[in-house]
A and B are shown apart, each in its own frame.
Chain A
Amino acid sequence: MGRAMRRIDLQREDDFEEWRDAARALASADVPAHATIWRAGQETDDLFAEAAAVVSGERAAAFFVPRGFVDLARTVVCHSDPQRFALLYGALLRLRRNPAMLEDRADPAVRRLEDMAKAVRRDMHKMRAFVRFREVETDEGSRFIAWFEPEHHIVRTNAGFFVRRFATMRWSILTPDISIHWDGSMLSEGPGGARADAPDDDPVEEIWRAYYGSIFNPARMKIGAMLKEMPKRYWKNMPETALIPGLVAGAQARERSMVELSRTQVGGNGQVAWDALRAQAMSCTRCPLRHCATQTVFGEGPVDAQVMLVGEQPGDQEDIAGRPFIGPAGQLLDKALAEAGIDRAKIYVTNAVKHFKFEQRGKRRLHAKPNAGEIEACRWWYDRERELVRPAMTIALGATGARAMLGKAVTISASREKPHRLADGGEGRVTVHPSYLLRIDDRGRAEEEYAMFVKDLRGAAQEF
């Protein structure tokens, strides 16, 4: 064959058989891919009529290609890219030399065709999803009409889906390039249309919009996820999308009011809730400390207390009795509270970690400091306690208590002097843990530190 360019005019944009016949003829004549120019869906002008005739005049010898290529080509033919016919023809020629070519899925040409097929399949899927019918009364009864703007030439290929699903309805789908009509037994094709050709309303759309607005949960906004699956270019033909800007704008306010409404409810059954929370904490398995400790030592005190004390963890005696701050440190705390003018019966006392962590030394169980993971695991209970008690003032005793209260590690010396604004609106103060006072050997310094501890407690108590 010569080097002349071949122009192939296909009548339809989406006709696999038409492309196949032409490609088969060209391949049989060993026409290389770069010598072909493909056009589709245009009036054949005189200038190229001859070229088309040459192609159809060449009788093709049949040859076989893998099934996978036929499926791929059927789909790719529907793509809107004008290059698709030439790309497929190029692939066909390579395939004759190497029938396994398609299996090399990292090959750039194979990849490109697969990506095109994927785009077509996605467009077909979106058409099945986003076509919206409107009902109109006609002489023969009701008819359902939709206006849709696909990205690729998929309408004819996709018609079967609508026939299978809506076989007993009479319907039409109008698009810019083509329209399809189903009368209950026959599918027919017509020319493309305009949006104005479709009805402009349907009373059921109001109900559908009401559903769309109600099923959406304002407490969980994920606009990116919505846009990824429902790109904006589809919006104009979907009645519910008009609601989206309003739903998005109002969502934060709606969530806030949901939370505020739920806050005002606390109090009435706060004690019931606390009892249930404590009961559940008794069987907590959030960290391994439960294996060694005797029991969970939950906080105690009135659920409507103004002041909350948060310590580190229960000690040996607390672990056995199941109540916080009753051992030597607890007794020292009671003494200091009394001197600071605070009634322990009116405050809520709890610990950052609710199981006793220890090292066994002979018969003695020696306190071991809880690690960050254990404090984090137990935080869930502390947070729930805070939500129920909602103390105006929280006093953290020691670094672990301060870590639970502030949500980060701090040093006592740096955080002791100033008040802290807590996430839930309360105020927090940091001071030492009473067990620290018990460990100071120097008597003079111990008394000095104790006096400062009482001063811290009194200072916090004066705030309310």
Chain B
Amino acid sequence: MAQLDTLQKLEILADAAKYDASCASSGTVKRDSAGQNKGIGSTEGMGICHSYAPDGRCISLLKILLTNSCTFDCHYCINRRSSNVRRARFTVEEVVNLTLNFYRRNYIEGLFLSSGIIRDPDYTMEQVVAVARSLRQDHGFRGYIHLKTIPDADPGLIRQAGLHADRISINVELPTASGLSRLAPEKSSTRIEGAMQSMKGDIEDGHDARKRFRSAPDFAPAGQSTQMIVGADSANDGDIITTANRLYGRFNLRRVYYSAFSPIPDASAILPLRRPPLMREHRLYQSDWLMRFYGYSPGDVRDATNDAGMLRLDMDPKLAWALKFRGRFPVDVNRAPRDMLLRVPGLGVKAVDAILSARRWRRLRLADVGRLTVSLAKVRPFLLAEDWRPSALTDRADLEALLTPRAEQLELFAA
């Protein structure tokens, strides 16, 4: 019955891990097992999603908790001390075997391990590190490992985690310090940011060492990331964007994940009962993208928010910005610089680069643009082409209505 036991534990400890948004397996160094006589696994830069759940999320890693017992009492967390959920705890060996068994069958890219805090932060961190060490050293595992670290644990232990893991994450949990002190009384934003700061230093040191000595070990080559919960405290989208931008800049984060607060069984009375619309989370990711790949400043994104500092749910932030600054459009597809083409709603980075390449050879017509983008209808009012002038369209008062998707199409599964 030993296996049945593992099965039950898995159900509890995967269920407890599902509130973590990240499942990415990308951005690490290339490794493989060719020519090796021991060990298994490879990473080739691009992450692979091995399955998708009906919630639309990618399943790339075995995402579990080592245990869901916890001495902390964070109100938004299903595993908090005062919650009535069933508790379970994996042994180090069980997690190692599960990971390898799934990996051999090509179910996963690797492991994403985090844990409730048992006994004390150091003890818990030791257990998490022990899993990663066993996978790497005892089994020659070359797949992806993401470890969630505990900010209160000894920095030496966190450094060890970085030696085995591809990615390290420390969750800021909430976009505001006041939200954190209300909802996670035992956590402190100072300690969390302190841990992120020291992780940033360790990653940079590791990077420098690799440049000088080829034999130096990799240290968290896929960098560090964080997650914040949206809709459980009073922060508006403008606040969240500002916080995210500060985190990207200060700690050199690879990713900030936004997780729409979702109702949890046995919730604390402090929490809102209703979740924010999932569309809100989506809009935050879109604005994150605009800042990272499209050259928008946090101020630009805040310009796209409404009076209450919220991004519009009925249109993406790029379109909202373009409608607000109509004077900057239309943009001439045959002359405009890259940064301005990137501001055209409906043109992605790939389409813009294709336009830049193609227009060196001839003047582009609207049909040419149509071949490079998904929706010409969205692009048209904002673009000048050889045979196209939207002069009347950009000035139309009802342009917004023309471009806004009908409300009922918005989100099929909204609250």
Contacts and interface: CB of A to CB of B under 8 A. Distances in A.
A217 B55 contact: yes
A373 B55 contact: no
B49 A229 contact: yes
Which of B11, B54, B310 counts the most chain A CB atoms within 10 A? B54
Contacts of A128: 48
B351 to A, nearest CB: 9
B14 A215 contact: yes
A204 B11 contact: no
B215 interface: no
A255 B271 CA distance: 16
B89 to A, nearest CB: 16
B39 interface: yes
Contacts of A125: 46, 48
Interface string A271-294: 011001101110111110000000
A287 B270 CA distance: 22
A164 B35 CA distance: 8
Interface string A419-455: 0000000000000000000000000000000000000
Interface in B167-195: 178-179, 182
Interface in A182-208: 202-208
Which of A146, A208, A213 counts the most chain B CB atoms within 10 A? A208
Nearest to B370: A106
A262 B34 contact: no
Interface string A166-192: 111100000000000000000000000
Nearest to B32: A164
Contacts of A412: none
Contacts of A144: 104-105
B357 A103 contact: yes
A222 B266 contact: no
Given A165-B41, A273-B268, A215 B234 contact: no
What is the predominant secondary structure among interface residues of chain B facing chain A? loop
Nearest to A128: B48
What is the predominant secondary structure among interface residues of chain A facing chain B? helix
A356 B54 CA distance: 46
B11 A214 contact: yes
A165 B105 contact: no
A37 interface: no
B233 A208 contact: no
Contact of A210 (B11, B271, B308, B362): B11
Contact of A286 (B234, B306, B355): B234
B54 A244 contact: yes
Given A125-B48, A262-B271, A377-B236, A215 B278 contact: no
A215 B17 contact: yes
Contact of A105 (B46, B48, B233, B357): B357
B105 A132 contact: yes
A287 B234 CA distance: 11
A371 B307 contact: yes
Interface in B319-369: 354-355, 357-358, 360-362, 364, 368-369
Nearest to A303: B269
B15 interface: yes
A287 B14 contact: no
Interface stretch (B146-154, B220-228, B257-265): B257-265
Contacts of B369: 106
B44 interface: yes
Contacts of B52: 225-226, 229-230
Interface string A112-150: 000000000000010011111111000000001010000
A262 B273 contact: yes
Contact of A214 (B14, B34, B56, B266): B14
B33 A204 contact: no
A206 B105 CA distance: 13
A261 B18 contact: no
Contact of A285 (B10, B239, B270, B355): B239
A130 B7 CA distance: 23
Interface stretch (A326-334, A382-390, A402-410): A382-390
Size category of the B interface is 35 or more
B371 A255 contact: no
A216 interface: yes
A82 B268 CA distance: 61
A111 interface: yes
B53 interface: yes
B6 interface: yes
B14 A211 contact: yes
A164 B104 CA distance: 13
A277 B181 CA distance: 11
B372 interface: yes
Interface string A220-245: 11111110011000000010100010
Nearest to A388: B269
A212 B32 contact: no
Given A215-B59, A219-B275, A287-B308, A135 B105 contact: yes
Contacts of B357: 103-105
B54 A215 contact: no
A296 to B, nearest CB: 11
Contact of A223 (B46, B54, B236): B54
Interface of A: 100, 103-108, 111, 125, 128-135, 144, 146, 161, 163-169, 202-208, 210-226, 229-230, 238, 240, 244, 247-248, 251, 255, 257-259, 261-263, 265-270, 272-273, 276-277, 279-281, 283-287, 371-374, 376-377, 380-381, 383-384, 387-388
27 contacts: A103-B357, A104-B358, A106-B364, A128-B48, A130-B51, A132-B105, A133-B106, A144-B104, A165-B41, A167-B34, A202-B105, A203-B3, A207-B7, A207-B98, A212-B51, A215-B14, A215-B63, A225-B52, A226-B52, A262-B265, A268-B269, A273-B269, A276-B270, A286-B234, A287-B309, A373-B306, A387-B272
